[in-house]
Amino acid sequence: MTVNIPVLKEVTEANSMLADVLRTRFAEQGVFVLDLIASPGAGKTTLLERTIEGLDGSVRLGVIEGDPHTSIDAERMSAAGVPVVEVNTGGGCHLEARMIQSALGQLGADDIDALVIENVGNLICPTGWDLGEDAKVVIVSLPEGDDKPLKYPMGFLAADAAVINKTDLEPYSPAEVETMRENALSVNPDLEIFEVSCMTGDGVDAWLDWIRGRVAEKRARQG
Ligand code: MG
Ligand code: ZN
């Protein structure tokens, strides 16, 4: 059996150094950067669509779409009317700072207020890769089970906020929103939690307010 941990550590150290370079650049530009992590199907892209729609241009967004194989999500972002760059990881299960650096060159949008990075659908390894973001947000959908935060605690530990999505499915699912919330807070008591349904729009306003607040804070610290 081979253990690759020391090699991984070297790689992640190089990644962290580059992430710091990106973070400095974002600070100078006053751009708020969000890293969205979730399992496949939790609703990252749909939440982004609701976010773009809800902010309605009041916050200028740019999006980097991490996708293992396709451009399906990038096309959805493009249709929603925001500048987007797709990063195909060729089956890779997370984004790295060097991918963000090269995507920024293609995004060519210096006049944005916030950059949202949709990470590859995976609740494990994206938590260990710094992308220069201000905040990680973990999205978890109710039908995945309200024990998800306990089974995959790393994402909840690394996150500033958790979005519990698909709350409209509560009547059809053994999982309970309240239990999901309690489990998430038991892993990380500092989590900001939003209960939303991207289908009905329920709870989306509180999420939009949080984004607006974080964007304003970042802008105020600019320079
Ligand atoms: Mg997606
Ligand atoms: Zn990975």
Rounded Cα gap, residues 85 and 102, in angstroms: 10
Residues with C-beta atoms within 5 A of ion ligand 1: 44-45, 73
Q: If you average pLDDT over every residue of the chain, what do you get?
A: 94
Ligand 2 centre to CA of 93 (Å) is 4
Ligand 2 centre to CA of 91 (Å) is 9
- Looking at residue 6, its pLDDT comes to 61
- Looking at residue 123, its pLDDT comes to 92
What value does the mean pLDDT take over residues 149-164? 96
pLDDT per residue as tens digits for the range 118-146 = 999 999 989 999 999 999 999 999 999 99
Rounded Cα gap, residues 23 and 84, in angstroms: 19
Ligand 1 centre to CA of 41 (Å) is 7
12 pLDDT band (50/70/90 cuts)?
A: confident
Residues with C-beta atoms within 5 A of ion ligand 2: 93-94, 125
pLDDT per residue as tens digits for the range 70-118 = 999 999 999 999 999 999 998 899 999 999 999 999 997 678 999 999 9
Closest CA relative to residue 114, chosen from 26, 2, 5:
26
Higher pLDDT, 81 or 6: 81
Ligand 2 centre to CA of 206 (Å) is 31
Burial class (CB in 10 A: 0-12, 13-18, 19+), 157: middle
